[in-house]
Structure 1
């Protein structure tokens, strides 16, 4: 009896100690976010969207709220769309001795548990079965809540019409334009990348963009590049070789994650790294779970330096030691861009910053990671097209011609932050041609230079099978008028002319496909 009492006292004191640790673990912005959510609940709002950057501790916030539910004899449910996210939250809740059940393939949950951690797919598949006992849930927390408009999430929410619903996401935007304001009543911001970096909760990032892919004529489907065509364009020996070459040049032997366009592309990247003597691994969603875990453990144990993947590590993966991201997957999705970059922003021992090597043009498409918009809830069904507003030149990204670092020049600080190089006016024009939607500065051009430019355009047109009119219209795009004389002999296309052609291609693709970021 005495031993039993001692055990109970020890158990209670340990539990209280863990609860105290949990509250001490919460940072100021996390505590404020929880209090803001509670205040909205007190005001009668039932569905709240919590927006927090990748690496800000959304799972810790969720565990804290669940812990509060259990204290008040209420029931909770945490819902995710992937097995890894379900298991991640289960481990966190178990650390604080919260009695939980797990509902996913191979697991049945427990009706006696205070909290259920559920796979939304498994819940949807079982909810109409005669033998399925619907667990109690006073509060439902939805992870990756930008997916809340999907049928499976909607069915789950509608199954609990009286429950309070909290959505967690780093990026409250969707490619299909459906606004999350149709689901949630209030939005609570939990810091920004810029704010959390300034406080030391995230590490600074720097970007090099040594190449921009030619994405002309790739169709846009469901708000992003058509996958098969994108893979064909990106999965070439030249582009994959550049990825390895530029990592050797810039990567500083950092632990690195690579995002590819397809499983085949990711495997090819891995093999080229290996052929160059760099230990690398690959994972994808079709691999058995035990194999994926082994590759992830190899990265943790420093057995591999490069981890390449396709659509597996964009959400819910937490490996703070990663300090380099290679984006080899172009995307129109701002959400996917931030998710990829966010994988490497968590701090770790001896980690000063994160290096982003952009082979996709994403930094020109979406801007710098810390320049996130002021998120707001909107109610909309379809994204409306809006003309792109071109930012002033000093706010546009520059890629340094000396070291390929991407930065924002200003009148006060025009130099590159990495190598202190200051571009001349002519070099600024070249930088603009690299893909930014801005008007080229007018420069005095000699007649001979114009004829040479037109001759190079004719050469390119003949190579590509274009009509002569293409060369004339491209000439007009640069100089504002058609060629005065077309009696020139085609000559090989120079780097400068190829740069301008690339600029035109990217500008044309963006003007056709740019859409409003709808929240």
Structure 2
């Protein structure tokens, strides 16, 4: 078997170097790389460069074990031994020095398996999806081999470290060697951007569903009670209709609250559009599950409703829509689910040197973004959405303000710029509150609701205005501020936001023109964008052969 020496991406190289440096000084560390960022590539290249004894990779699902064994084998040039179920290495095939084993923790934890490797101890244990590493089975394996080799190093790799479990993780890992989040990966053009659409299910009352917090996990709705509500026939149909209408032809993964929910929703979808959906769960026959994934990847099946199967270890880059048919309060769970749809199509981004080039390649590919379809009840009751994933480093108020458009049911792009704008707006509000300046709300606009024949119904909808002029409101909207937010500003607030945002962001119309002519609009303000467009227009709408001085 010949090694496949793939050139790693820059951040993967940074991760490998950081891991090696940290393990040179400490016994254990964690690397955080978002779903779609190539965690397995980092694992394989780290093992290939490891010089201190045998390596063991632990995972907890059949899919992850098989995928890891294949990709690690590509990197090291030798198929690793696999310890899982009836599969296992013969004693005569074991050696000491540079042997690699990929194992399911459920199999490796048995005394028979541990004893088998007694005389072939490991120098490095890699725990994939290491947020599970605090469980007794992982601890038993690690402690056993540390007893055989006091110099054992342990690397944990995950896409979604559970923040509420940081204390418990600290019992297994000493340090975080490297960390990147989805915001970084999308802004750098390694993952596709996502668009969010929130659908309210009027017949679903989340306020009456109990919330509990398991030890070491985030608080979330009681799964059994949530599923009981979601399998009601009316709720199923209220979900099926927007799924069929809003997803278009996108290959779609649907995350559900339980086995019954997955199969019931697939049944409703197939009743509306025969042959479009299938359901899988942990007890689905492996051969049937493999066949369903193949049909989905080949484009012969649009919807796969799943429970507890595809949150980890599922690799289908064609996935262009993620449906959260199970509302959740868990950021970790939501991040795992959304991450399934963020991989670009193969060959889209590798080979490009800049983030702008990668983003342009994604924008012109068959998969230009991922649609996230969220279902919530009549009350959101703290349900997580895309802004909680993208805005992990922003406070709750910022994420709430940035995601307000999505929460009102509008389809919207989810960007870091939205979060930065919300942060600036909130900072301005807080400053004015600290100065005890009262907001002016004496001006109102009245929108009259008209009947179908054009006659006024007599009903009016008051919209509070802060005094910003129509011209200010119009410009703010073009800069990406929602109209209902813009009209609430005072003239001073509107001017401050325009001055701040307009220095580094052009209007949506200017941005479209610049991108169409191959000019990166990142950091280009309104005035500078206007000068660039004037140059292009003066050259018969072609970029001058000598290029454009962006200054």
Is the shorter-chain TM-score for this pair beyond 0.5, marking a shared fold?
yes
Contact 1:328 1:359 (C-alpha < 8 Å) held by counterparts: yes
Which of 181, 187, 211 is the aligned partner of 2:200? 211
Partner of 1:173: 162
Once the 2 structures are TM-superposed, how far is the Cα of residue 405 of structure 1 from its aligned partner?
3.8
Indicate the residue corresponding to 1:356 in structure 2: 372
Q: Is the 8 A contact 1:29 1:190 kept in 2?
A: no
3-state SS of paired residue (1:142): strand
Matched, 1:423 2:412: no
Q: Which residue of 2 aligns with 1:445?
A: none
Q: 1:74 aligns with which of 47, 53, 76?
A: 53
Give SS of 2:284's match: coil
Partner of 1:516: none
Higher relative contact order (CA 8 A, sep 6+): 1
1:58 corresponds to 2:39: yes
Give the number of aligned pairs: 394
Q: What is the alpha-carbon distance in structure 2 between the residues aligned to residue 417 and residue 271 of structure 1? A: 44
Is the alpha carbon distance of 1:174 and 1:234 closer, same or farther for their aligned partners in structure 2, counting shifts above 3 Å?
farther
| Matched-pair contact (CA < 8 Å) for 2:128–2:158 | yes
1:260 equivalent in alignment to 2:256: yes
The question of whether the paired residues in 1 share the 8 Å contact of 2:55 and 2:101 is answered with yes
Change in CA separation of 1:281 and 1:416 when aligned onto 2, cut-off 3 Å: farther
Alignment equivalent of 1:123, drawn from 100, 108, 111: 108
Give yes or no for contact 2:328–2:334 (8 Å, CA) kept in 1.
yes
CA shift, 1:125, in A, is 2.1
Q: CA 1:401 to 1:32, structure 2 compared with 1: closer, same or farther past 3 Å? A: closer
Match of residue 509 from structure 1: none
Residues 155-180 of structure 1 deviation map (CA, whole Å, 9 limit, x = unaligned): 11111223110000111116667442
2:121: which partner in 1? 136
DSSP-derived class of the 1:246 partner: helix
Structure 2 partner of 1:107 = 87
Q: Distance in 2 between matches of 1:92 and 1:261?
A: 31
Gap change, CA 1:45 and 1:229, over 3 Å in 2: same
**Contact 1:254/1:322 (<8 A) preserved:** yes
Report the 3-state secondary structure (helix = DSSP H, G, I; strand = E; otherwise coil) of the residue aligned with 2:304.
strand
| 1:342 positional shift | 0.2
Q: Please give the TM-score of this superposition, normalised by the length of structure 2.
A: 0.65
Offset, 1:37: 1.3
Change over 3 Å in CA distance of 1:331–1:176 after alignment to 2: farther
Over 3 Å counting, the alpha-carbon distance change for 1:73 and 1:205 in structure 2 is same
Distance 1:204 1:404, change over 3 A: closer
Structure 2: distance between partners of 1:370 and 1:102: 34
- Superposed CA offset, 1:116-143 (max 9, x none): 0011111112357766756421011000
TM-score by length of 1: 0.69
1:292 maps to 2:289: yes
User: Conserved in 1, the CA contact under 8 Å of 2:257 and 2:325?
Assistant: yes
Cα drift, residue 282 of structure 1: 1.0
- Deviations, residues 157-207 of structure 1 (Å, cap 9, x unaligned): 111223110000111116667442222111023422122112221000010
Change beyond 3 A, Cα 1:132–1:399: closer
Q: 1:414 to 1:201 in 2, by over 3 A?
A: same
Q: 2:220 aligns with which of 224, 237, 254?
A: 224
Contact 1:144/1:169, CA 8 A, preserved across alignment: yes
Partner of 2:392: 373
Distance change >3 Å, CA 204–CA 145, structure 1 → 2: same
- Gaps in structure 1 of 5+ consecutive residues: 1-10, 376-387, 429-519
Superposition RMSD in Å: 3.1
Gaps in structure 2 of 5+ consecutive residues: 346-364, 426-472, 490-551
Question: Which of 388, 405, 411 is matched with 1:398 structurally?
Answer: 405
CA distance 1:402–1:235, change in 2 (3 Å): closer
> What SS does the aligned partner of 2:200 have?
coil
The answer to whether the 8 A contact 1:320-1:344 is kept is yes
Residues 215 and 233, structure 1, Cα contact 8 Å, conserved in 2? no
Q: What's the counterpart of residue 309 of structure 1?
A: 306
- Which is worse superposed, 164-173 or 237-246? 237-246
Tell me what 2:442 maps to: none
Asked if 1:197 is matched to 2:258, the reply is no
* Equivalence map 1:329-348=2 (5 Å): 329-348=326-345
Tell me the CA shift for residue 149 of structure 1: 0.8
